[in-house]
Chains A and B, each alone.
Chain A
Amino acid sequence: AQSVAQPEDQVNVAEGNPLTVKCTYSVSGNPYLFWYVQYPNRGLQFLLKYITGDNLVKGSYGFEAEFNKSQTSFHLKKPSALVSDSALYFCAVANSGAGSYQLTFGKGTKLSVIP
């Protein structure tokens, strides 16, 4: 079985400050890790993913994430937050060896960027 934990229901950050949204995972085998963002009344938008290689992954809108195998973490980061970054962020994991494209999602973290 695979699982994802997002320990913070909400993260508040001032505009212009760096932001971090935390994620830890559990999966048998090698993980594929993802971050998605959801704006109100919308579907989920893909931000970035880790499959293999460099532990620092860069994605859309200036976001990046750092894969840490020993800590089984995949934290989302951005150097300078924008008010428009305020949204719901989901971390997800898939088993790279699975024949299905099923993703397991965390509960989500609401990011509020304060002007």
Chain B
Amino acid sequence: KAGVTQTPRYLIKTRGQQVTLSCSPISGHRSVSWYQQTPGQGLQFLFEYFSETQRNKGNFPGRFSGRQFSNSRSEMNVSTLELGDSALYLCASSAPGQGHTIYFGEGSWLTVV
């Protein structure tokens, strides 16, 4: 079974631009969550989607948004990029009955210049 797939793996954006990151969950998984990882703040929860509905949201500004499609694939968008948004963005998927276990993709490295 294929794992969680994230695209693109690396990208460089300029301040003020926007970016969209994509995530394909493990087949059969309906929950997709996003995390931001930085050296200073560690791993921080962004949001979680289940069956196309946002089920939970972390403490991030409204510039960070996401959505989930009917095939469980998910995208997250960051608008008006700031230098501090430079981070590794990790997507994870999960399925009911697995005790909240989430499985991560390789991440998307975003550099804002």
Which chain A residues have a beta carbon within 8 Å of chain B's beta carbons?
32, 34, 36, 42-46, 49, 51, 90, 94, 96, 98-108
Which chain B residues have a beta carbon within 8 Å of chain A's beta carbons?
4, 6, 31, 33, 35, 42-43, 45, 48, 50, 55-56, 58, 90, 92, 94, 99-107
The residue that B100 contacts in the complex, of A32, A36, A45, A107, with Cβ under 8 A, is A32
Tell me whether chain B's interface is mostly helix, strand or loop, or mixed. strand
Tell me whether B103 and A101 are in contact (CB under 8 A): no
How many A-B contacts if CB must be within 8 Å?
Answer: 58
Tell me whether chain A's interface is mostly helix, strand or loop, or mixed. loop
Q: Which of B33, B43, B55 has the most CB of A within 10 A?
A: B43
Tell me whether B101 and A105 are in contact (CB under 8 A): no
User: Top 3 nearest A-B pairs by Cβ distance?
Assistant: A100-B56, A105-B43, A43-B104
Tell me whether A43 and B90 are in contact (CB under 8 A): yes
Chain B residues closer than 8 Å to A98, beta-carbon distance? 100
Tell me whether B45 and A43 are in contact (CB under 8 A): no
How far is B19's CA from A100's CA once the two chains are assembled, in angstroms?
A: 26
